[in-house]
Structure 1
C-alpha cells in the first residue's frame, strides 16, 4: 500500500498531464477487497477526494503512475467511528463491531448490497496528529431495502 500512497502523492504534487498541484483532502479512503490479491490475499484501493475546483475535470495522471479515476454513484453506508491510528488489528475489530451492531438493527439484511468492497476505512487526521485522531469504518448497505433514498 505504500507504493500506491507514493503514486497518489506524486499525482497531488503535479505528476499529471497539466502539472497541477492538488491540495490534499480528507478523508483518505482505503477499501478492502478480500481475496482479490495474489494467492487470495486482500487487495486495497486507496481513494482521495478531489477539491471542488478539480471535480468536473480532474487532472489526468501521468501514465506511469497507473492511477485511475473512480466516480462513486450515490449510495448508502453504515459508519462506525473510532480514534487512534487505523492499524490492521483495530480496523478488523471495528469492522466486526459494526457488523455486530448492524446484525441487531433494522439494517441486518441490508449489507448484502452488491459491493466489490468488504469494507472501507476513512481516515480524517494527518499522520502527524497523535491525539484526537478521527477514523471510520464503512460498510456499503442497500438503501432500497429499508426505504432510504440516495442522492
Structure 2
C-alpha cells in the first residue's frame, strides 16, 4: 500500500460518500430473514486473481495487489478502470497446498468494460470471470474479515439457512465453498461492512427471478 495512487484509491474505496459513482453488481432481494437474505444477482463479468496462499488474508492482499495493477493500466489497452465494490474472495476447499484452501480474489468490472474487459498483462496471472445470473445467500458482519472469523461467519449463515425454507438449497454445483465480500478500505476502522456469500439452487423457488422491483 506504499504506492501513493493505491493509497488514494483505497481511501476512496473506504469512504464511499466522498467518491461518487462507485459501481457494484446489480441484484434483487427475493427473500429476507432477520440475519440473512437471498439475492438474485444479474449476469456480470469480473476479473479474477487466483491464489494458493494458505491464509485468506494474505490471498486477499496479494490478489488485490495484482488487480490494482490491472485497473491502474497494467493491461494491453493501458486502460484506467474505476474502483468498484465489493472485493470478493472466493474460497475453494482443499485446492491449495497440503489440502488447504485456495482462493480467487475478484474485482467487479464497471459497466463500461463488462462486454469487453481489457486483457491483463500476462505476468499478473488474471483472467476474466463470467458470472451467470444466480441466487446468493448473504449474511452481513462487521469489523475486519480475518482468518480467525470468516469460517465462524460462514457457519452462522449455514445454520440460518438450515432453519429456513432454503435448508436444502445450497448449490452442489458450485466450485466455491463460500465467498467473502469486503466493502471498505483497510484504513476504515468504524462502520465496516462485510458479507458471506453462498450460492443457492433456486430452481424450486418461483421468487428467485427478476421482477423489476427492489433492484440495487
Q: 2:128 aligns with which of 69, 77, 86?
A: 69
Q: 1:56 aligns with which of 104, 115, 121?
A: 115
Measure how far apart 1:68 and its partner are: 0.3
Runs (5+) with no aligned partner, structure 1: none
Residue aligning to 2:158: 99
What is the alpha-carbon distance in structure 2 between the residues aligned to residue 112 and residue 75 of structure 1? 10
1:141 aligns with 2:141: no
Moved beyond 4 Å, runs of 4+ = none
What is the alpha-carbon distance in structure 1 between the residues aligned to residue 130 and residue 193 of structure 2? 24
What are the Cα deviations for residues 76-108 of structure 1, in whole angstroms up to 9, with x where unaligned?
Answer: 011100110111122111101000000111101
Q: Aligned-residue CA RMSD in angstroms?
A: 1.2
Q: 1:87 aligns with which of 129, 146, 159?
A: 146
Runs (5+) with no aligned partner, structure 2: 1-58, 211-216
| Larger relative strand fraction | 2
TM-score (norm 1): 0.95
What are the Cα deviations for residues 89-133 of structure 1, in whole angstroms up to 9, with x where unaligned?
Answer: 221111010000001111010014310000000111122111000
What is the alpha-carbon distance in structure 1 between the residues aligned to residue 146 and residue 199 of structure 2? 21
Measure how far apart 1:150 and its partner are: 4.0
Pairs within 5 Å for 1:26-41: 26-41=85-100
Q: 2:189 aligns with which of 130, 139, 142?
A: 130
TM-score (norm 2): 0.67
What is the alpha-carbon distance in structure 2 between the residues aligned to residue 123 and residue 3 of structure 1? 15
